[in-house]
Chain A
Amino acid sequence: MTAHLENKNALSRQIILTAVFVLLICTPIVKTLLSPAMQLSKVENRKLSQAPAIRMDMKALKSFPTKFEAYFNDQFGFRDAFIYIHNYVNATMLKISPVPDVIMGKQNWLFLKTAPYGEEKQSGKQLEAMKLHLETKRDWLAQRGIQYVFMPAPNKQSIYPEYLPENQNKKKQNLQIDDLIHYLQGTSTFMILDVRPQLRNGKDDDFVYYLTDHHWNDKGAFIAYQGLINFIHQWFPEMTPLSLQRMNQYSDISNGMSLANMMGLSDVFQETVIKLEVPRPCSHKKPYTAMIPEWNKKAGSGIEKDWYRMRIPIQSICGNADRKAIVFRDSFFDMLVPFFSEHFREAVYIWTRFDYSILPELINRIRPDIVIEECVESEIFLSHIPGEFHKTKGFDLLISGDKLGAVQEFTNDLQINPDSPDSYNNLGFALLQIREFDRAIELFQAALKLNTGHQKAAENLKLAQKTLIEIDQRVAEINHKLSLDPNHPELNIQLGNLLQKRGKTATAIPYYQKALASDPENFSALNNLAAANAYLHQFDVAIRIYQKLTLIFPDQAEVYFNLACLYSLQNNIPDAIDNLKTAVRKGYDNYNLIKTDHDLKNIRKTSFYESLVKSFHSAMPVEDEARNRSK
């Protein structure tokens, strides 16, 4: 080859390389300039960054490069094509998942990465907390005559570990849920509904999960539904699940679902999908409009707004059925809804974890027989707010009148959540109930320090301060009047009441006694003296005074009720029952208090109590005034 030819060849090589390179680096910017900026990326399921405005202040200038780069990275020309080819080559040729959240399994099975699932053993502390959460929910609902089911939806990995790539740590699968089941078996009477065995049996006949989605398919959902109905059969013997044979069944070829879509390759990963339908269904579903304003409020205007808007509560109605249900659920329950709805006159499906803040109103509205909480296995430990059960117990105790118990629970919650303004406010509210004004005010102020816009804390603080000032003013007034007429029975009683209100019960007692000295049969003086003694745990003294009252005022039903409480507290069951009977006979009708008053807890196990409760005509829901105030 001559040198000339060699040079010519080298030259053409240089020209081609230069031309191709310059073309490659220049065309994307030309395309970026020519095409309008995109707003959304369907593949990535997010909003794309937009060009930042140029402003001439220091802060804006400093952040400009980062913002501009975010915009350019999202909008440069041919970006989608580059990403598509990258993902296609990785997923189909190298068998590597191009996105961190998706695991490429064997035979095109895709899995969602669910860290830290299967890696770390749940500590005993977390298991104990979980147990308390579950038991508190069950008991809270049981008090209202409602059953509770907790149903984890198994991760795909739990049912199909054999399709996971070899390098996944199979040895540690299912630790969380099995840990919880074992822990509950040893320490609690609560049983969670575990549908994994049925699904594992079912997968021999057909796929029970989608290949390209994290969820169970209709077949898997049907098995889970049967498991659920069989489980609640223990309470509702009339309920038996529909049979698979009765369902309309057909299959369809579908583009790859969510996991394939996350890789932007739903056209590449197609699969055959089995569909099940209830023939001639009784139920129909619709948005649950009654809750939508509340839901929108929950959604707020923050970044989670769209998430909530897409998951509004729905309601199903089936005229042939009797029972009613509330279902807290996630995406897994979607496929169960058509089957489950067939068994309930009314069912409401709310896409959130068990939420005490919306339950009382829902219960009032729907009066359900059962509350179901379904949640994907990998999140069963994540979704509880730490300290939540302390909070719930605290509210229950407040309602039932065990104010000191409530203070203790809220104190525990505050220890777990020392940065939560709500926790300060709740404890402050409980302290207000036991008239610890000064500490309560400190706590409301602490809540406001953490969140100056905390409305409830601000209201409570205002209320507490106002009450305190009023009481102190009245005390001063009455003291002045008493200086003129020290033995005036009414004034003495009023001062005693004010001092009790101020949280100074011990100092109130002498004033009642003074009133009784000049008017020995004064009902208020005796009654309040008894109450003050009861408050100070001087039960014998209190009982003597109430007994004296029954002799003077034999028809005051409330006095018998108070006696019943005191005897119950002393564990004197026969006298407690006796007095409660008398109270009811004499017209005592605060059934709620009978059902919930903490003082009566010792007699609730008796057969008398059960028959008494049955005799109440309507099961009145508890007014959750305390909860609403405080939250």
Chain B
Amino acid sequence: MVFSSIIFLFLFLPVTLLVYFPIGKRFRNLFLLAASLFFYAWGETFYVLIMLASICANYIFGLMIARYGNGTKAKLFLGFAVTANLGLLIVFKYTNFLIDNFNQIFASVLAAPIQIDPVHLPIGISFFTFQAMTYVVDVYRKEAPVQKNPVNIGLYISLFPQLIAGPIVRYNTVAGQIISRSINLKDFAEGIERFIFGLGKKVLIANSVAVAADKIFAIPSEHLTFSLAWMGILCYTLQIYFDFSGYSDMAIGLGRMFGFTFPENFNYPYLSKSIREFWKRWHISLSTWFRDYLYIPLGGNKLGTVRTYANLVTVFFLCGLWHGASWNFVIWGLLHGLFLVLERIGLEKLLDRIWSPIQYLYTLLVVMTCWVFFRAETLPDALSFIAAMFGFARGDGIIHHTGLYLDNEIWLTMIAGIIFSAPIFPFIKKTWSTITKNQTGISGNLTEGISAISGISSLILIFLASIMSLAAGAYNPFIYFRF
């Protein structure tokens, strides 16, 4: 089930809320676990059993690790746990990829290529296995207490708001909230606000630019023109940000409504002066996961320059691979790793000295070019798309030209997308509060009233517009469902 669907908004969410609050604190976790499993099974049916298996295994691993404390046996169980979790991920996500590559490498030696049917990729498996791993590692590191109630572990791994597209919530972040959490009207209202913003980002902006991006990326490379390629990649750049950050906003908002505080996942990433900064603002829960559970255990930057660079490249190689079982994702990750190394070597110092708009432009250019690998179906497609972006377009612009894809809707959403990629709302809020701060008495009440009413009305408008768009069956697949 996805959040931006009629069935979630008008059936699953109201029913879950209406049961959750009256049943009392004792049963809330059990109910939320049941609701989450139902939420998962709705889209994945019997694959919910894989998630249940993961819950059971990690529950036992946690108990075992806690039981043996610091000893070698604890280490052994941690090893088991990590291997089991990664094994699950490899089997369901990488089997076909590994076999394809094996067949290619050993093509001359093999009598016949190994053939297997495509393995179904259960939604969100990359997210929930990473979350499960943080639990066993945090217990081993004693950063969080072991959880003896299987319902609570089940809830941690399957909690529906962040189940299928993050944020990746670490066990030590929510361990306390799972056991006991309080919820008040302020949290709930803020949750609603956040959820509606996220829904609007996804439905009104991401879905709309996605249509143009899909069409342009489907054009045969010999028909691509310079302007089409740039329009395509701009649409995709907006799509992936509004899609994914919209989803994170909805997850965070829903979490708030049920009393959870999830970590932030995005912080206006397209306003970064370097790739290093970009990764502090983009998919923060993933980048910090890789930092804390891979980069630092590998030695981080403590083992000399060469080792640091090697660690960075390793981390980004795996980060790319995490996004999808295809060499295009690996190239995307490696390119980011490469720019991070270059920035460490001296590019960042060089950038620091120049006019800051150039720094923003540099980051955007690198990020957008890398997105081509992320979006294109094959490596040759990606390369010819990039060639078109940099002046080697082969299309004549007769059959396919930007005019075909630029209607009022695309114009509107592209402009809105560009504007809201910057922190416009926090800015308006801040400015408004400085204006109203000094007003007292009736005029103060009036401005406060106006701001409250306009705030609520715009939220309701965004919500209604999103519902209408969903009702009209607009384009709705989530990008991050591929991961």
User: A residues engaging B (CB < 8 A)?
Assistant: 1, 5-6, 9-18, 20-22, 24-26, 28-29, 32, 58, 61-62, 65, 68-69, 72-73, 76-77, 79, 82-83, 85-87, 89-90, 94-96, 98, 119, 165-169, 171-172
Contacts and interface: CB of A to CB of B under 8 A. Distances in A.
26 contacts: A13-B456, A16-B456, A17-B456, A21-B192, A22-B14, A24-B464, A26-B18, A29-B10, A29-B14, A65-B42, A65-B43, A69-B7, A72-B6, A72-B7, A76-B10, A82-B472, A86-B468, A89-B468, A94-B412, A98-B472, A167-B403, A167-B405, A167-B406, A167-B407, A169-B398, A169-B403
A94 B469 CA distance: 14
B471 interface: yes
A14 B189 contact: yes
Q: Which of B10, B45, B412, B449 has the most CB of A within 10 A?
A: B10
B334 to A, nearest CB: 38
Contacts of B456: 13, 16-17, 20
Contacts of B42: 65
Q: Pick the 6 closest A-B CB pairs, nearest first.
A: A86-B468, A14-B189, A82-B471, A167-B403, A13-B452, A86-B472
Chain B's interface size range is 35 or more
B440 interface: yes
Nearest to B399: A119
Given A18-B185, A76-B10, A94-B408, A9 B398 contact: no
A6 B409 CA distance: 39
A17 B472 contact: no
Given A21-B463, A85-B468, A96-B407, A172 B192 contact: no
B386 to A, nearest CB: 26
Nearest to A80: B471
Contacts of A12: 452
Contacts of A166: 403
A604 B45 CA distance: 72
Contacts of B403: 166-167, 169
A9 B45 contact: no
A11 B472 contact: no
Given A10-B186, A119-B399, 8 more contacts: A6-B448, A61-B45, A62-B45, A76-B10, A82-B472, A95-B408, A96-B408, A98-B472
Contacts of B404: 167-169
A265 to B, nearest CB: 12
Contact of A73 (B6, B188, B409, B467): B6
A58 to B, nearest CB: 8
Q: Which of A22, A58, A95 has the most CB of B within 10 A?
A: A22
B468 A82 contact: yes
A22 B17 contact: yes
B135 to A, nearest CB: 29
B189 A5 contact: no
B440 A82 contact: no
Contacts of A119: 399
Nearest to A169: B404
B112 interface: no
A69 B5 contact: yes
Q: Which of A1, A58, A98, A166 has the most CB of B within 10 A?
A: A1
Given A1-B439, A65-B43, A166-B403, A14 B409 contact: no
B345 interface: no
Contacts of B180: none
Given A167-B406, A169-B404, A11 B185 contact: yes
Nearest to A120: B399
A139 to B, nearest CB: 37
A119 B18 CA distance: 53
B472 A25 contact: no
A87 B473 CA distance: 11
Interface in B433-483: 436, 439-440, 444-445, 448-449, 452, 455-456, 459-460, 463-464, 467-469, 471-473
B306 interface: no
B235 to A, nearest CB: 15
A94 B407 CA distance: 9
A49 B405 CA distance: 33
Contacts of B459: 17
A5 B436 CA distance: 13
B19 interface: no
A76 B7 CA distance: 9
Interface in B160-203: 185-186, 188-189, 192-193, 196
B189 A86 contact: no
Given A24-B460, A96-B408, A167-B406, A14 B185 contact: yes
B11 to A, nearest CB: 6
Given A65-B42, A83-B468, A169 B399 contact: yes
A72 B11 CA distance: 9
Interface in B41-68: 41-43, 45-46
Q: Which of A14, A29, A167 has the most CB of B within 10 A?
A: A14
A85 B459 CA distance: 18
Contacts of A24: 460, 463-464, 467
A17 B193 contact: yes
A233 B185 CA distance: 83
Interface string B408-422: 110010000000000
Q: Which of B185, B186, B401, B472 has the most CB of A within 10 A?
A: B472
Contact of B469 (A17, A20, A73, A86): A86
A485 B473 CA distance: 86
Contacts of B9: 25
B258 to A, nearest CB: 14
A73 B440 CA distance: 49
Contacts of B412: 94
B188 A65 contact: no
A62 B46 contact: yes
A162 B186 CA distance: 56
Contacts of B448: 1, 6, 9
B13 interface: yes
Nearest to B38: A65
Contacts of A16: 452, 456
A13 B14 contact: no
Contacts of A87: 472
Nearest to B407: A96
Contacts of A21: 192, 196, 463
Contacts of A94: 408-409, 412
Contacts of A65: 41-43, 45
